[in-house]
Amino acid sequence: MRKLVVTTVSVVLLFSAGFAIHVVTTIHPYYLIVSEISEGRAEVSLLVEPGINPHTFSPKVSQIKVIAKADIIIANGLGLEPYLRPYSKKTLYVGEKIPKFFLNVENHEAIEGVNPHVWLDPLFVKYYIVPTIVEALNQLDPENRDYYLENAKRLIKKLDAIIRRAYALLTPFAGTYVIVTHPSFYYFFREYSIRVLSVEEGHGVRPSIAHLEELIKLTKSGRVLGLFHEPQMDDRGIKTIAKETKRTYTTIDPLGVEAKSIEELFDEVLDAIEGIIHE
């Protein structure tokens, strides 16, 4: 069997006849999850390249060709990937497998305005995202069913460790606030009763002076756990708040573009939060 080279789909992919299925993932966190579960038994490609904002992503012609050839597309859904509508029959929207109760919506058809960043809650990943992906892989490649299940079990054990670490670190700060450039980590902090306030007043909408003044006032009150910036977003607003309050801000990446596993993505986030707590 030829050695597989996994790259983003903007680069020419080396297809191997030895792989039963070809999986295209839209964003890096799902690439990490699928790669860990399949681990050499499926060809896994990443669609949205590192550094690209998935909210504004539009596929190139070369990427559309790869999408068309995929056996399955693992996507988030909840309005994040409207460009996949022509391929809905072979697209698995894992975010839409999460019970609507947890997303604060009445039904999954009313997705406008829903926060789509479900992959950043390790509990969602453990109980809904990983099982959904495993089931899909098992249906496409039943010969490797046991292999996928065992890998998923190991991944869930790692997620359990992340959940325990997050609980110990964040539960003492229930009732406080975090200020972020963009509300990607809403579900993550909500698990620990920490309120998330966004600098943006709508996706990609720069904050008004009045909104910044409100956030500055709150930060000076001592009720803000930390200020956080996402590398895909404009940092001018968070910089203004940090300067006016003499607080530092730190970067947390919702896509984990430098992470080699989903566990590492969460560990990097928790490391950043811990650094803010102990500053």
Q: What is the value of pTM for the model shown?
A: 0.90
For 47-68, write each residue's pLDDT tens digit: 998 778 899 999 999 999 999 9
Half-sphere exposure of 204 (CA within 13 A, CB side): 4
pLDDT over threshold 50, residue 177 = yes
Strand order in the sheet with 91-93: 43-46, 22-25, 72-75, 91-93
**What are the boundaries of each domain within the chain?**
22-166, 171-277
Residue 105: burial class (beta carbons within 10 Å; 0-12, 13-18, 19+) = middle
Q: Domain 171-277 is in which class?
A: alpha beta
Q: Domain 22-166 is in which class?
A: alpha beta
Q: How confident is the model at residue 97 (pLDDT cuts 50, 70, 90)?
A: very high
Q: Which residues contact 197 (CB under 8 A, 6 or more apart)?
A: 177, 178, 179, 180, 215, 218
* Confidence at residue 72, expressed as pLDDT on a 0 to 100 scale: 98
* Confidence at residue 79, expressed as pLDDT on a 0 to 100 scale: 93
For 213-246, write each residue's pLDDT tens digit: 999 999 999 999 999 999 989 999 999 999 999 9
CA distance 131 to 114: 22
What angle separates helix 28-38 from helix 130-140, to the nearest 10 degrees? Answer: 60
